[in-house]
A and B are shown apart, each in its own frame.
Chain A
Amino acid sequence: MSSLQEIVDRVVGQAKPGEQVEAFASRGGETSIRVYEGEVEHFVSAQSEGIGIRVIREGRTGFAYAGTLDESAIAEVLGEARDNVAFGTPDEWAGLAEPDGVEPVPQVLWSDALEQFPTAKKIDLAKELERLAIAADSRVRVDEADYQDGWGEVAVATTTGIRRAGRENAANVSVGTLAEDGEDTQTGFGFSVGRDPALFDLQKAAREAADRATRLLGAIKPPSKKVTVVLDPYVTAQFLGVISSTLSGEAVIKGRSLFANRLGEVVASPLITLIDDPTNPLAYTATDLDGEGLAARRNMLIEAGRLNQFVHSSYSARRAGTSSTGNAVRGGYAGGTPGAGCLAMQLAPGTRSQEQLIADVSDGVLIQMVQGLHSGVNPISGDFSTGASGLLIKDGKIGAPVREFTIASTLQRMLMDVVEVGGDIDWLPSRAAGVSLVINDVMMSGE
């Protein structure tokens, strides 16, 4: 079997004069195990592969992909991509990334221990997690306990001289819980992630899954009023995910960012320092390379409330008259031209615990879960409205659980209304780290 690098090199070697060609190939595998009531409910084990080829000629771009690395199929893909070029509109900025001399910061993305981790132990982990979650509280049942792992290797080559390959693997366990008390049912979840399943903290995952569900038993629908919200780290990570789309250089050049033309201005509370740093090995999405094969790097996006920079791919950078920040994001081999996006965001943490933050809130809600970030949040207009559940806060103390309400504001206002960032940074399995966040003047809609 050819190495991926050989495969993409061969494709790029077939470029004709006047043509830019990029080939991106990947190969990967997964194990997915679900346990229910002590038995394996399903066990999925498989491998997949594919290639995507981009051709640019006279500013026009064409793309094709196939879910195979079969040589005859690759020839067809190159032919299709070339054929598709004719239908693009010439774009003076179209082009592939070029090596920029920035050396990647090496990252440990592969674990031999995970590769060799025996199947029987994977099943045991899921069974044990299910057992622990049920044992955590007599009111708790488990509807799914999962073990999943995956590995992938990729290679990219371009006629502009990019030539990179890498591989990584990772695993996780997760559990979904139902807490029942009379007619009342609430749900929770817990997880543990990493590259060495032997280090998973099953106790913590089970405890959190049980707590999340039982804490909400007896929840009522709250009244409608303005409150201070304390976002749980898990919710803050999701909030940062929404913010990230406003900081994409591609959104900026295409007039879809509410922060366009605001570089250097104050856009957030002085407590907000937002960094995108995939070179930080603590970040779940730490990586050495971006989607175009340039070195991933640390970028300061908002510094003490002031908008410092956007994140760029080579295309958005060329149009904006700047250089790539190493933030090209590619949607796998079928993804086409990479976009520009954040890779590993984090807020510079404060110093105090969530409990200390809550102690200063006179009338508020601790937001434990949000629902509907994809439907009621518009990162272009800034409108923010999401379903939520959590716990009321009265005079610095946690009170009754609440559900079936929304919290609403605008992204612009929420960033300005941040009154404290917690010290409890949590490297969650997402593109953003979590941290407790206190935001004033958010509208809670219930009764």
Chain B
Amino acid sequence: MASQLVESSVAESVLAVAMANGGEFAEIFAEDRRSTSAGLDDGRVEQVTSGRDRGAGIRVVVGETTGYAYTSDLTERGLETAARAAAAAAKGGGKGVKVVALGSPSSHPVNNIDIDPTSVAKARKVELLLEANEAARSVDGAIVQVSAGYSDARREILVANTEGVFATDAQVRTAFRVSVVANGDSGMQTGYESLGHTMGFELFDRHKVADVGLAAANQAITKLRARPAPSGAMPVVIKCGSGGVLFHEACGHGLEADLIAKGASVYRDRVGQLVASPLVTLVDDGTMSGEWGAIGIDDEGNPSQYNVLIQDGVLTDYMWDYLRARKEGHKVSGNGRRQNYTYLPMVRMTNTYVLNGTEDPEAIVRDTPNGVYVAKLGGGSVNTATGDFVFGMTEAYLIENGQITEPLREGNLIGNGPQVLQDIDLLGNDFAMGSPGTCGKDGQGVPVGDGQPTLRVKSLTIGGTAA
């Protein structure tokens, strides 16, 4: 590596300053993020944006208290000022001397970046927008508006702490999105499709942006003839690669050790118990090469891991960050993440998915006399303490007599996590990852992935308007 974000000797002396008030643990998290984005709307490339965010956060832990300060000044002086502020905030009582020798940082890349996006001409990025726009508009005269966005970011991080963790990672993410408005007799409808991976510009050798535009346009056109969604509880079949957000909300958040510790999760004290249908094996996997939630190390410097959360319906473990693991005498699980250097890390998911079952996905629909088929889910949210969660359906159809029939207008579905996990009664063999997501928790957003095979929940409440 040409130049390290923070030199080893500087990191050592800053950690010593952070511990000078008698801290028990100190950490430097340094970050340098360069990004490029370009947006098209209304037929025009509106703006190309270049961004640079660079800084470091210093954390000091004394007893149950964490002090945190951050700075955009990565010089030794800037870091030491932040270290003193963090130490003061943690209110360490005495005087401490802790010397840590860091050596060279380690790195644990989960995938190679073939084409660094910063090496690609901006003109090429803008061309992608125009290609997607053209493809979407070619679908139907009813397409009245298209917006498209391209973004790439290279995020270099370095973490050093007083327990000797010293690691770096370069996280490159590239993404593309298209949203479309179609206008018909019954008013306007929208379509949305996105693509995002932890990889470089090779993303566009593997996926065509025109396909993203076509998918978004077709979704909007289909919805022009949508009828109001039904209201009430009924069987719901969720297409592979569209419904991982269900698990993210129904149980993912509830398995985060910080929420468990405060008793704010319905999954507290449930390890070793059957919490889901025995068909369900749920994994959180930060090592999943190329996926949107993939990371070499988490934002506490620990290598990402493949963590089994639920095995054949039985809860096997929660997800952990440094503080929770330290408190409970557990091992960290590579789930300590933060939005950027201005935030404290928390327990967060990475790529969360359900492993394949054995059913033929077409048979799942055929075996469902009446219900709803969800082909594309939107966002969701959960109250982890009650387990009640919602998620939006952005493309859905009625199932009548075992056949997918008419498209439905948008709406939310609502369920209770533990109940819905038990109610999964058919699991397909067609696993696929879904669209890139941004998971929000306590005001911080981090990139996450999700995935699942086609599955059926025997009863979920559809929030439509039709009786």
- A residues touching B (Cβ–Cβ < 8 Å)? 36, 39-49, 61-68, 73, 76-77, 80-81, 83-84, 87-89, 91, 141, 143-144, 178, 185-187, 221, 224, 254-256, 258, 334, 336-337, 371-372, 374-376, 378, 380-383, 385-387, 389, 403-410, 443-447
Contact = CB atoms under 8 A, between A and B. Distances in A.
B464 A40 contact: no
Given A40-B91, A67-B52, A68-B54, A406 B64 contact: no
Contacts of B415: 404
B465 interface: yes
19 contacts: A42-B344, A64-B49, A66-B51, A66-B52, A66-B54, A77-B50, A84-B49, A88-B44, A224-B233, A256-B188, A372-B380, A375-B378, A375-B390, A376-B378, A383-B410, A389-B388, A406-B412, A406-B461, A446-B232
Given A45-B85, A67-B54, A254-B42, A187 B383 contact: yes
A39 B465 CA distance: 48
A354 to B, nearest CB: 24
A381 B187 contact: yes
A404 B416 contact: yes
Contacts of B390: 371-372, 375-376, 386-387, 406
A255 B51 contact: no
Interface of B is mostly: strand
B412 A385 contact: yes
Contacts of B233: 224, 446-447
A409 B266 CA distance: 31
A403 B233 CA distance: 14
Interface residues of B, number: 84
Given A41-B66, A387-B388, A447 B89 contact: no
Given A48-B72, A446-B232, A385 B461 contact: no
Contact of B68 (A44, A65, A381): A44
A34 to B, nearest CB: 9
A386 B46 contact: no
A65 B380 CA distance: 31
Contacts of A224: 231-233, 467
Most chain A C-beta atoms within 10 Å of own C-beta, residue among B55, B266, B379, B465: B465
Given A143-B263, A256-B145, 6 more contacts: A36-B262, A84-B47, A255-B188, A378-B190, A387-B388, A409-B465
B67 to A, nearest CB: 5
Contacts of B69: 44-46
Contacts of B55: 48, 67
Contacts of A87: 38, 45, 48, 122-123, 125-126
B253 to A, nearest CB: 13
Contacts of B462: 445
Nearest to A64: B50
Contacts of B82: 46
A63 B49 contact: yes
Given A41-B66, A89-B44, A408-B231, A371 B49 contact: no
B414 interface: yes
